[in-house]
Structure 1
Amino acid sequence: MLENKTYLRQADRDDMELFFQWVNEPAVRKNSFNTEPIPWENHQAWFEKVLADEDIRIYVLMKNDNPIGQVRLALEDSKWQISYSIASSYRGQGYGKVILQLVENKLIYDGLVGETLFAEVKADNVASQRIFIKLGYQEAASEHTDAYAYIKVVEAKERANVTNQ
């Protein structure tokens, strides 16, 4: 069960090595459309580019001040493309749902009500598919033949919390 405080914080350069470790975990590579390991030099260049890009938001999921996952939103064709992962020791504990709820709340808090969220999930990543469906995402057309796509418009809530206590 989820205990204690979980929240999102903005990723920064100090997270580069942690993200490198996460992106190269076997399960993360398996669930990515590019399944090849990412070389350090490529990751460094990508991470610097992401941090500098105003159309990309990247956050770290924290549990009691310990990083346990990441979520990235990239604005493409008027939609925010979602990509997320949870550290291996925290998978299967509900944090995939938590990270997506928190990022939606962050968008609401930032005044981005009405924005469209979009995600593509590989066909064999059933856990992630279930999370998007539980959170009210609708199925959409995917660019990949071995994937499902999900879409949702960010709607205002009475009060958007950016932490889960």
Structure 2
Amino acid sequence: MEENYFLRKAKDEDVNDVFKLSNEDYVRKYSINTTEIDWKEHKAWFENIMNSDNHIFYVVTDRTNKFLGQLRYRVENEMATISISLCKSITGRGLSKTLVKNSIELISEERYELKKIIAYVSNDNIASKKLFESIGFILQENKKAMLKYEYFI
């Protein structure tokens, strides 16, 4: 199944798909900021991310290049913070683990200085907790219903 899904660098034309996914109720529910995202703010944010040396932005696609999700990293010195959201059509299939592992390999090749990856997960998001723990992320903090996991490269 995994051979039918791919990670590629985000492109400018992904802005609409990322906006739609980011505003899905199930995505907002577990986000740090749970309020709906404004289109103008999203466009400015997306442009900033695309032009930033401190962000690595991957998009999940299938063989037809259909948008199926996103994995983003905010890089600061020797660490990066991961963010993941997938379209409903591929959630619950066990793909997240492979996608995150593959993205860690990709970012490690691109940013050889990285030593640690951090994931912030809502305490209510059982699937994400299981995902990051299964990959080897270690729970470091539990603050205000938000968990901080760390993975050492």
TM over 0.5: yes
3-state SS in 1 of match to 2:130: helix
Q: Which residue of 2 aligns with 1:97?
A: 97
Name the CA shift for 1:137/1:108 in 2 (closer, same or farther; >3 Å).
same
Query: Is contact 1:83–1:119 with CA below 8 Å preserved after alignment?
Result: yes
* 1:13 aligned onto 2:16: no
Structure 2 distance, partners of 1:77, 1:108, is: 13
Q: Which runs of 5+ in 2 are unaligned?
A: none
Normalising by structure 2, we get a TM-score of 0.92
Structure 2 distance, partners of 1:153, 1:46, is: 28
Q: Which residue of 2 aligns with 1:84?
A: 84
Tell which has more relative contact order, 1 or 2 (C-alpha 8 A, sep 6+).
1
Structure 2 distance, partners of 1:119, 1:67, is: 23
Aligned CA RMSD, in angstroms, stands at 1.6
Q: Which runs of 5+ in 1 are unaligned?
A: 155-165
How far residue 4 of structure 1 moved from its aligned partner, in angstroms, is 3.9
Normalising by structure 1, we get a TM-score of 0.86
3-state SS in 2 of match to 1:20: helix
Name the CA shift for 1:7/1:113 in 2 (closer, same or farther; >3 Å).
farther
Q: Which residue of 2 aligns with 1:145?
A: 144
Structure 2 distance, partners of 1:111, 1:44, is: 26
Structure 2 distance, partners of 1:75, 1:113, is: 10
Question: Across the two proteins, how many residue pairs are aligned to each other?
Answer: 152
Identity of aligned residues (%): 28
Q: Which residue of 2 aligns with 1:123?
A: 123
